[in-house]
Copies of this chain bind each other. A is one copy, B any other.
C-alpha cells in the first residue's frame, strides 16, 4: 500500500479537526449595549482558538514531513497513524475545556490546562513512536532516509514530548502561562530554521543529506 491514501485520509481528519475548533466559539447572550463588553470577556475562547489552530497546523506540517520519509504503509504504520489522529482529533475538547476555565483560576483552571497538556503529550509521544519505528524499520523508509538521518530525526523529535510533558507541570502552576507557552511553541515552529527534522523548510539537507 502506498502512502497516498493514508496521507489523504489524515489530511482530511486534520482539516476537519482544525475547522471544528470554531464551533466552540459561542455567540454570547448580551443585554442591550453589552455585546462589546461580552466579546472582550471571550478572550480565552479566541486565544485558545488561535493557539489550537496554530498547533494543529504545525502537526499537519510535521505529519507531511514524516510521511515524506515513508515509502510503504504496513499495518503498524496504519495503526500508529490512527492512534496519532485519535489524539489530534480529540484536541477540540481540551481546547474548549481550557477556554471555559483558563480565566477562572484555582484548581479548575489547572485541571483544564493539565488535560490540554496531557493530550499534547500523547500527540508528541505518538510522533516519537513513529520516528522510533522508522529508525528501527529501514524496510518502510524511502531510500534517501538513512540510519543516521533517522537517529538525528529521533533526537530532534524528542524535544516535542519533553516540552509537552513539562507543560503538564506548568499547568499546575498557571493555566494562562500554559497557553502562552503553547503560543510561543507555535511561533517558534513558524520561524525559519527551527531545529526539527519534522518541519519542512528551505533546507531539507539536515534530514536528507
Minimum CB distance partner of A42 in chain B: B93
Minimum CB distance partner of A202 in chain B: B74
Binds B, one of A100-108, A124-132, A142-150, A151-159: A100-108
Asked whether A112 is an interface residue with its Cβ less than 8 Å from the other chain, the reply is: yes
Assuming the A-B contacts A49-B90, A76-B192, A111-B36, are A11 and B14 also in contact, with contact meaning beta carbons closer than 8 angstroms in the complex? no
Q: Which residues of B sit under 8 angstroms from A14, Cβ to Cβ?
A: 9
Q: For the complex, give the distance between the alpha carbons of A48 and B107 in Å.
A: 27
Is there an interface contact between A107 and B35, defined as CB atoms closer than 8 Å? yes
Q: Which residues of B sit under 8 angstroms from A53, Cβ to Cβ?
A: 82, 85-86, 89
Asked whether A162 is an interface residue with its Cβ less than 8 Å from the other chain, the reply is: no
Is there an interface contact between A64 and B5, defined as CB atoms closer than 8 Å? yes
The one of B9, B34, B50, B75 that contacts A11, using a Cβ cutoff of 8 Å: B9
Assuming the A-B contacts A15-B12, A57-B82, A115-B39, are A75 and B201 also in contact, with contact meaning beta carbons closer than 8 angstroms in the complex? yes
Copy count, this protein chain: 4
Name 23 A/B residue pairs within 8 A (Cβ), A-sorted.
A1-B64, A8-B8, A8-B11, A11-B12, A13-B15, A16-B19, A17-B22, A18-B85, A19-B89, A22-B93, A23-B23, A23-B92, A25-B93, A27-B93, A33-B107, A35-B101, A35-B111, A53-B82, A57-B79, A74-B201, A75-B190, A75-B192, A75-B199
Interface on chain A toward B: helix, strand, loop, or mixed SS? helix
Is there an interface contact between A27 and B96, defined as CB atoms closer than 8 Å? yes
Question: Mask for A145-183, Cβ within 8 A of B = 1, else 0?
Answer: 000000000000000000000000000000000000000
Minimum CB distance partner of A50 in chain B: B86
Is there an interface contact between B23 and A20, defined as CB atoms closer than 8 Å? yes
